[in-house]
A = this chain, B = another copy of it.
């Protein structure tokens, strides 16, 4: 169904051309000409990308862990300026500076109303197809058509020039995914005042999880990190301790720090078998694990949860919801989550952005069209 009654053949609608990143296979991301997006349904917007970035989850297909069946546009994090709006979109105006959550959502279904837009009945990802069969661009490009724009666009309320001048663009961009995802890990782990929290994973999401745990009131945050630069940023984000060891040795180090006790909660921010095992191991009986790493490990033993009364929850972050929570702290400078970006490259160099993250030369790369 095409709710606008527009032609289904996008070639008839896409007239101009733009530059955007396309993944062709393992370690093969190219910048290519793509059709310039246009409004296809009354619920659409077209957004000019001001800044995008590369996500740890983009590395799964880049590394060949997830299959790339055919070339597709990639990237799902962006801030930008609204260029065009469908007739039904009243929540923003052309010219507004907006943040996009990494999934679009309707705002009306039960999951959206309950505060879980990433579990929306109509959830739509970047670089895919919307529920009306129309293609959705990737975020690593010059422009993007945004379906479900009424709820998905989050206007910041300040101009592009003002936000650029204040150096706020990277911090706002972090709310599109990485900071919201770190916060979701802490939220899903039920972190509350006085908790001791272990963060498993020192990528950009793990670092954001440290910040999220502190924002939710954790007294003590133990970051598991083997990289000096990341450990330093973890401390800047509020980690009280850093453990470099992994596995059994990591567990022993946590116990040492806590005088034989374990954590109240753990944030699993990687998605591998080992990271999940560590997260489950470092919490006390009755402890809680929040997980946001895209699951690539085996199924979970219910008995293991049962025997130690562990609660586990997580998934894709409620980014659209947390933007509202976190924006005031970003605008005031109370938090500086964009510090996870340690490299900025032009879109033309997006292949290098991927390589730098793949080879751990960068934690997270911001890309400017």
Q: Which residues of A are at the interface with B, using a C-beta cutoff of 8 A? A: 110-111, 114-116, 118-120, 188, 261-262, 264, 276, 284-288, 291, 294-295, 297-303, 305-316, 318
Cβ of A338 to closest chain B Cβ, rounded Å: 25
User: How far does the alpha carbon of A316 sit from the alpha carbon of B307 in the complex, in Å?
Assistant: 7
Cβ of A361 to closest chain B Cβ, rounded Å: 29
Taking CB atoms, residues of chain B closer than 8 Å to A300 are: 299-302
User: How far does the alpha carbon of A114 sit from the alpha carbon of B110 in the complex, in Å?
Assistant: 34
Taking CB atoms, residues of chain B closer than 8 Å to A261 are: 110
Contact A286 B116 (CB under 8 A): yes
Q: List 12 A-B contacts (CB under 8 A).
A: A110-B262, A114-B286, A119-B307, A291-B302, A295-B306, A300-B301, A305-B315, A306-B314, A308-B315, A309-B318, A311-B314, A313-B313
Chain B minimum-CB-distance residue to A298: B299
* Copies of the polypeptide in the assembly: 2
Contact B299 A305 (CB under 8 A): no
Chain B minimum-CB-distance residue to A312: B312
Contact B302 A299 (CB under 8 A): yes
Q: A299-B301, A311-B313 are in contact. Are A306 and B285 (CB under 8 A)?
A: no
User: How far does the alpha carbon of A65 sit from the alpha carbon of B364 in the complex, in Å?
Assistant: 51
Interface residues of A: mostly helix, strand, loop or mixed?
Answer: mixed
Taking CB atoms, residues of chain B closer than 8 Å to A188 are: 309, 311
User: How far does the alpha carbon of A207 sit from the alpha carbon of B242 in the complex, in Å?
Assistant: 46
User: How far does the alpha carbon of A110 sit from the alpha carbon of B308 in the complex, in Å?
Assistant: 12
Chain B minimum-CB-distance residue to A294: B306
Taking CB atoms, residues of chain B closer than 8 Å to A314 are: 305-306, 309, 311
Q: A110-B262, A313-B310, A314-B309 are in contact. Are A302 and B276 (CB under 8 A)?
A: yes
Taking CB atoms, residues of chain B closer than 8 Å to A298 are: 299
Cβ of A189 to closest chain B Cβ, rounded Å: 9
User: How far does the alpha carbon of A352 sit from the alpha carbon of B335 in the complex, in Å?
Assistant: 66
Pick from B110, B119, B307: contact of A309, CB below 8 A. Answer: B119
Taking CB atoms, residues of chain B closer than 8 Å to A288 are: 313
Taking CB atoms, residues of chain B closer than 8 Å to A264 are: 114
